[in-house]
Copies of this chain bind each other. A is one copy, B any other.
């Protein structure tokens, strides 16, 4: 199948995801022109200094004019404002997509504003790092990762197909899913892990008996693994929490219930329950490694001093 090619791709938002897209679009020659828009003058200047696109604007409407693909990569809470801003400038036949971590909310925010002459195909690439901003992106961010599309039922199959081939050209595998199911899946694989990571770092910060210096010095014994997720972009994650509330509350409830059972096993010295849980959980990591979603190297392949 031939690589998809666009005349003009508009990237609205140029953080980690947007700037990784700019780099892979250039590297794979997926568009003649890359138009970049972001509200922040400073970020726009930085994107220009990094030569991420062909044109730069603080107006999203200006960037999407004549674009045949528009990719919105902003915190999910800003989706409606962007939809309103670009609606009147979208070209007939344009594909409009996004990369937001919650899908039902993004659809509620954007779809009412989309003109009939465009194809709105919401999406979510399951890829990222804890770094943010236009400098953090890289062309291989999406390679080997999954991208989930959640097209409304009446979407033109050709538009979905073309966007699918776009993500495949970026190196991704593509799935389709109902938006509600997407939000439930992401609540357990992404949103709950981030919340828990943020939470334990907060707990560690407020101890009277253990100093922050001690937490830092001895963090290699486990704690530091959590700090990567807890270093993620605060605006993005605030918005995820506000826009996937029901699914997150459901997963938090289950997690806490299970944690209480575990706490009870610790309190009453139920070694069998502990051993059984600690044995079962090994399998999932092995399966994740076999699925190509994780490295088998110990310690994530972190460098060791003296290696």
Is the Cβ of B194 less than 8 Å from the Cβ of A230? no
Partner of A207, one of B188, B210, B274: B188
Is the Cβ of B229 less than 8 Å from the Cβ of A274? no
Chain A interfacial residues counted at CB < 8 A: 118
Given A188-B204, A214-B189, A218-B146, residue A294 in contact with residue B224 (CB < 8 A): yes
Q: How far is the CA of A295 from the CA of B227 in the complex (A)?
A: 11
Give chain B residues whose Cβ lies under 8 Å from the Cβ of A190. 218, 221-223
Give chain B residues whose Cβ lies under 8 Å from the Cβ of A189. 204, 210, 214-215, 218-219, 221-223
Stretch at the interface among A47-55, A65-73, A106-114, A255-263: A255-263
Smallest CB–CB gap between A150 and chain B, Å? 13
Give chain B residues whose Cβ lies under 8 Å from the Cβ of A300. 228, 299-302
Is the Cβ of B231 less than 8 Å from the Cβ of A285? yes
Is the Cβ of A271 less than 8 Å from the Cβ of B305? no
A-B CB proximity, top 6 nearest: A129-B298, A193-B222, A190-B221, A144-B305, A234-B278, A300-B300
A-B contact pairs, 8 of them (CB 8 A): A185-B218, A188-B223, A190-B222, A194-B222, A202-B262, A225-B229, A241-B271, A245-B267
